[in-house]
């Protein structure tokens, strides 16, 4: 069986062999690819992987800055002008192809030009690039990991066998667009800073970009004959957008760094909260800042640590000019609530750094206005740490309140919009959930135990690999999926 994966990034396992910069995103896919390659004799899969490499991807690769040009004539080891042990060539449509050796097996990778920094724009040239990849790879099945980028729509348009397309749901941009402002005040939503104007990236424009991505996402799902998802939430909308698609339940395997270590209460920073991301409104950091005073009243030493891009730096004139409207609002909340010494922005963290921050934190908090099945929550559960989350989107399919941790009432889909009353309700609910978690250490430990047990089953690597292979075989054999509750 020849399978082509369409991914949103160059996988770390591929980037490492090509001596290129590695993304911290979707590292779990390398582990899944490893499993497919290691068990090739039993699964019979010949794997190819396609991914965007940027519109200006150079015809040069190298190690430690020593760039080498890859000759179009390099094929099957016929030229010594290659990088490492890999052979590369450029195909029509700007497609770069390389054959890599992993686990004593070959994996064919294709890099195609796409401006992923403007994922709201559909470039018809993608269709020609992906046609060239499909012609070269000649796959029996195409598995698209994620529906939120234009390349998935392009693949769904050009691949002739719609019944052999498997679209894997990650986020749902349509629904994220609806929740994007996350109860922000109207004056914040419509404010535009110098940075926002120059980048044409105000909050309104950001929301519009999600909405445009959602339109492409719905079309892609409407074309795909098969869909994988993990929650009641994503299944309901898949059936709404494409009632004829087969829906297969398939859980995700997480990054390898999170299997093994276990959180210990005695080794964490007391009353420290870890938030994995907070650089745009949907992630709900402003809810946390509004809720912090009520937490401080109960736990005077409480602190919040936020990973990811820091959008509140303003110690220099240049940094102040780079502030977004949302960054300025976060700063105002910090100043108004006197939280300067309570909130620490950690910047971008790799997998090991993220794991270590989880382990020294007293709680993981997911304050998002909308999520399908956040991997950050899965990672925290897998480590067996205290977890508090907003009850939004698909989270309740993977995390049961009063068993695995505490769910609180978050953003209401189609609800009251940006009213201050609704924002206050969410902040009060969040603070009450955090305070409750720490009030009963015995119950908290029981939550931790249950969360880890559940996550070990949900994110079991062998089970999820076997399920994926089962789905591939069902699709290629024309076997229907039985309905699931």
CA distance 130 to 218: 20
CA distance 6 to 54: 15
Average of per-residue pLDDT across 133-139? 97
Query: Helices 461-476 and 28-38 meet at what angle, rounded to 10?
Result: 70
Phi, psi of 22 (to 5 degrees): -100, 135
- Per-residue CA distances from 352 to 78, 83, 261, 430 (Å): 40, 28, 11, 28
Do 152 and 128 touch, CB atoms closer than 8 A? no
Do 52 and 112 touch, CB atoms closer than 8 A? yes
| pLDDT confidence tier of residue 418, bands split at 50, 70 and 90 | low
More confident call, 252 vs 74: 252
pLDDT, one tens digit per residue, over 37-59 is 889 989 999 999 999 987 666 44
CA distance 264 to 208: 43
Do 390 and 367 touch, CB atoms closer than 8 A? yes
SS3 231: coil
| pLDDT confidence tier of residue 74, bands split at 50, 70 and 90 | very low
State yes or no: pLDDT of 483 exceeds 50.
Answer: no
CA distance 391 to 403: 14
The predicted structure's pLDDT at residue 85 = 39
Average of per-residue pLDDT across 398-403? 97
pLDDT, one tens digit per residue, over 441-475 is 999 999 999 999 999 999 999 999 999 999 999 99
Do 116 and 52 touch, CB atoms closer than 8 A? yes
State yes or no: pLDDT of 374 exceeds 90.
Answer: yes
The predicted structure's pLDDT at residue 23 = 67
The predicted structure's pLDDT at residue 413 = 80
Give the chain's mean pLDDT: 89
The DSSP 8-state label assigned to residue 2 in this structure reads E
CA distance 200 to 203: 10
CA distance 173 to 190: 21
| pLDDT confidence tier of residue 22, bands split at 50, 70 and 90 | low
- Partners of 89 in the β-ladder: 97
Global pTM?
0.90
Q: Which of 134, 151, 281, 109 is nearest to 203 (CA)?
A: 281
The predicted structure's pLDDT at residue 100 = 86
Residue with tokens 């390349």: 151
| pLDDT confidence tier of residue 84, bands split at 50, 70 and 90 | very low
CA distance 291 to 330: 13
pLDDT, one tens digit per residue, over 204-216 is 999 999 999 999 9
The predicted structure's pLDDT at residue 76 = 33
CA distance 299 to 366: 19
State yes or no: pLDDT of 197 exceeds 80.
Answer: yes
CA distance 430 to 408: 6
Give percent of the chain above pLDDT 70: 89
The predicted structure's pLDDT at residue 87 = 56
The predicted structure's pLDDT at residue 35 = 86
CA atoms within 13 A on the CB side of 236: 8
The predicted structure's pLDDT at residue 12 = 81
The predicted structure's pLDDT at residue 262 = 98
Average of per-residue pLDDT across 266-281? 97
The two tokens of residue 119 are: 């994922």
pLDDT, one tens digit per residue, over 282-303 is 999 999 999 999 999 999 999 9
């Amino acid at each position: 069986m020849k399978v082509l994966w369409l991914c949103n990034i160059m996988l770390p396992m591929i980037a490492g062999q090509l001596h290129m910069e590695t993304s911290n995103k979707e590292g779990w896919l390398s582990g899944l690819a490893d499993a497919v390659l290691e068990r090739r004799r039993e699964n019979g899969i010949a794997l190819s992987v396609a991914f965007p490499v940027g519109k200006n991807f150079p015809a040069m690769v190298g190690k430690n800055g020593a760039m080498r040009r890859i000759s179009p004539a390099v094929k099957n080891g016929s030229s010594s002008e290659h990088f490492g042990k890999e052979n590369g060539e450029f195909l029509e449509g700007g497609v770069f192809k390389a054959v890599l050796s992993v686990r004593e097996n070959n994996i064919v990778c294709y890099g195609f030009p796409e401006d992923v920094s403007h994922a709201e724009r559909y470039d018809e040239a993608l269709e020609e690039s992906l046609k060239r990849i499909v012609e070269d790879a000649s796959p029996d099945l195409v598995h698209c990991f994620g529906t939120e980028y234009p390349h998935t729509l392009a693949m769904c348009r050009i691949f002739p066998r719609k019944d052999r397309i498997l679209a894997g749901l990650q986020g749902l941009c349509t629904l994220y667009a609806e929740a994007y402002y996350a109860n922000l005040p109207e004056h914040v939503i419509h404010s535009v800073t110098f940075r926002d104007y120059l980048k044409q990236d105000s909050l309104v424009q950001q929301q519009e970009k999600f909405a445009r991505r959602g339109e492409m996402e719905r079309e892609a799902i409407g074309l795909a004959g098969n869909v994988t998802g993990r929650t009641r939430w994503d299944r309901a909308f898949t059936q709404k957008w494409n009632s004829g698609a087969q829906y297969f339940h398939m859980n995700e395997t997480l990054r390898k760094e999170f299997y093994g270590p276990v959180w210990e209460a005695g080794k964490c920073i007391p009353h420290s909260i870890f938030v994995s991301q907070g650089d745009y409104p949907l992630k709900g950091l402003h809810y946390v800042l509004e809720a912090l005073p009520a937490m401080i009243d109960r736990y005077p030493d409480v602190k919040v640590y936020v990973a990811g891009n820091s959008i509140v730096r303003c110690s220099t004139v240049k940094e102040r000019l780079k502030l977004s409207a949302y960054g300025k609002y976060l700063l105002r909340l910090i100043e108004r609530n006197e939280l300067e010494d309570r909130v620490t922005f950690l910047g971008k963290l790799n997998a090991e750094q993220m794991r270590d921050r989880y382990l020294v934190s007293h709680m993981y908090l997911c304050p998002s206005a909308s999520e399908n099945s956040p991997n950050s929550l899965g990672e925290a559960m897998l480590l067996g740490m205290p977890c508090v989350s907003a009850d939004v989107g698909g989270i309740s399919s993977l995390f049961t309140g009063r068993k695995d941790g505490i769910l609180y009432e978050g953003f209401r889909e189609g609800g009251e919009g940006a009213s201050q009353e609704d924002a206050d309700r969410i902040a009060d609910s969040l603070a009450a959930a955090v305070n409750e978690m720490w009030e009963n250490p015995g119950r908290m430990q029981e939550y931790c135990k249950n969360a880890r047990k559940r996550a070990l089953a949900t994110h079991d690597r062998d089970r999820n690999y076997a399920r994926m292979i089962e789905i591939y075989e069902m699709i290629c054999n024309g076997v229907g999926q039985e309905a699931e509750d």
